[in-house]
Amino acid sequence: MQLIKYPNDVLTQVAVEWDFENDSTAEETADQLIELMIASNGIGLAANQVGLLKRVFAIKLSGQEPIAMFNPRVVSESTTIVENEEGCLSFPNLWLEVKRPKQIESEYFDKHGNPCTITLSGIDCRCFLHELDHLNGVCFTKKISPLKLALARKKQQKRKYNG
């Protein structure tokens, strides 16, 4: 498993549902995603980012061991919107101020196919939504205006050359 970086087209493709009945690699996929996420110093990694168009991502929630979430979805979200900085392993050194709901309730399946429900806020909510966007073929660069993206890319270039 290898991290894919922008501008690879797989980052803009929509992932398909994980089929636990016909795909027995859930545990192996979960372990590999988590391992690569940790090795890359990330807190989230979607399957698209490794070229796998299946609805699963690894996430490191605050104060917990990393897990994989299969077929994740948002059940409800708060009407309060917060803007905060985000980065992405597929866009090295690019940091963007993105608006997202303050809190969500979500459902997913664990690597054994067990249904789970979780309420997330803060960085955990932001990370979940960022990774869910990946599964829907949406990169965080699409969440801001072209002008803000151009300014952020200039800063990205400076960081790239200043190490």
Catalytic residues: 131
> In this structure, what token pair is assigned to residue 94?
């690019």
Which pairs from 57-60 meet CB under 8 Å and 24+ separation?
57/33, 57/131, 57/132, 57/134, 57/135, 58/30, 58/33, 58/34, 59/124, 59/127, 59/128, 59/131, 60/127
